[in-house]
Amino acid sequence: MSDKLLVIGEVRDNDIRNVSFEAIAAAKQISADAEIVGVLLSDNDLASAGEEFIAYGADSVITVTHDNLKNYTSEGYGQVVLEIIDELSPNGIVMGHTSIGKDLTPKIASRLSAGLISDVVDIEKDGEAAVYIRPIYSGKAFEKKAFEDDFTFVTIRPNNIPALEKDVSRSGEVTSKDIDIKDLRTVVKEVMRKASEGVDLSEADVIVAGGRGVKSAEGFKPLYELAEVLGGAVGASRGACDADYCDYALQIGQTGKVVTPDLYIAVGISGAIQHLAGMSNSKVIVAINKDPESNIFNVADYGIVGDLFEVIPLLIEEIKKVKA
């Protein structure tokens, strides 16, 4: 009998997050012939999101629409997911290692008395068994983990396991399910958007990050412009956040976000070890800094020693040229 893996997708502003497609690809890597059942929750109709999940590799999708699923709560989502697990008896679950994934999966794992390997960046096969690779000690080391029993439960870090090619010719059943949600002890009263302008930092392919060297909130403007030209997001070091140049929502590092974009451009960042913890696994790192002794040059693939206010406008022009 083949495996049945649940992939819990995340819908935000009516769009499925990219990491959820990556989770489908991860499920296929865990078990190539597994039946993949997508699960999507929202307070809106999910029929077209369900079709999209199929196009990215799910075999079937269960959608649940309920007013109490407008905002994520561990209790609301937990009740729904546990009921679906109860009905389908899957042998594994895959989800993105996102704010919701981190919050929800330990609860489910605890209820199922299951292991949970979180923040996976790569999957290897040892014969039939999957081996999961995850960063530890803030990316200074990696561990290989496996499950002691037959139940698989992992969250995957965004931007590490590529999603499958979208294939609209795929077909599969999208079933809307009625599940009652009761007795919520936690209620979300309000959501204050701070970080959502532009591209999501944790899923961005390109990040332009500024540090103390940017000198002011005003100084971040060229960084935003560069990020826009690159289709990327803006991040910051703790120093820049502490100095009020930008919101803590942008902070990358040991405290703050851990990111692994394809291209990380560190601007006016000295490269304190706490900052490196949040970005050192980025695929290509560029450092722009006035001080040639800055530690950031030790982790950078390419460095430019110079005044960022001179370098960034030139860089924007040059990138516009090659992108044109």
| Binding residues for another protein restricted to 237-266, rule: CB under 8 A | 247-251, 254-257, 262-263
Q: Phi, psi at residue 252, to the nearest 5°? A: -115, 130
C-alpha 201/C-alpha 184 separation (Å) is 30
- 13 binds another protein, rule: CB under 8 A: no
Nearer residue to another protein within complex by CB, 93 or 315: 315
Count of other CB atoms within 10 angstroms of residue 182: 8
Q: Of residues 13, 89, 137, 182, which one binds another protein by CB under 8 A?
A: 137
- 322 binds another protein, rule: CB under 8 A: yes
**Residue 283 token pair:** 């695929």
CB of 184 to another protein, least distance (A): 9
- 295 binds another protein, rule: CB under 8 A: no
Identity at 15, one-letter amino acid code: D
Q: Which stretch binds another protein (CB under 8 A): 84-92, 109-117, 171-179, 211-219?
A: 109-117
What are the contacts of 140-143 at 24+ separation with CB within 8 A? 140/277
Under rule CB under 8 A, how many of the chain's residues touch another protein?
94
CB of 246 to another protein, least distance (A): 11
C-alpha 145/C-alpha 133 separation (Å) is 6
Nearer residue to another protein within complex by CB, 131 or 164: 131
- 139 binds another protein, rule: CB under 8 A: yes
CB of 304 to another protein, least distance (A): 5
Nearer residue to another protein within complex by CB, 109 or 164: 109
Count of other CB atoms within 10 angstroms of residue 71: 14
Nearer residue to another protein within complex by CB, 109 or 163: 109
Q: Of residues 32, 47, 136, 168, which one binds another protein by CB under 8 A?
A: 136
Site for another protein in 147-186 (CB under 8 A): 147-149, 151, 185-186
- 226 binds another protein, rule: CB under 8 A: no
What is the enclosing helix (H) or strand (E) of 290? none
Asked if residue 268 lies in contact with residue 211, where contact means CB atoms within 8 angstroms, the answer is yes
Q: Of residues 67, 86, 190, 293, which one binds another protein by CB under 8 A?
A: 190
Burial track 191-207 (b if 16+ CB lie within 10 A, e otherwise): eeeeeeeebebbbbebb
Nearer residue to another protein within complex by CB, 57 or 158: 158
Site for another protein in 204-223 (CB under 8 A): 205-206
CB contact set of 64 (below 8 Å; sequence gap of 6+): 39, 40, 41, 42, 46, 80, 84, 176, 177, 178, 179
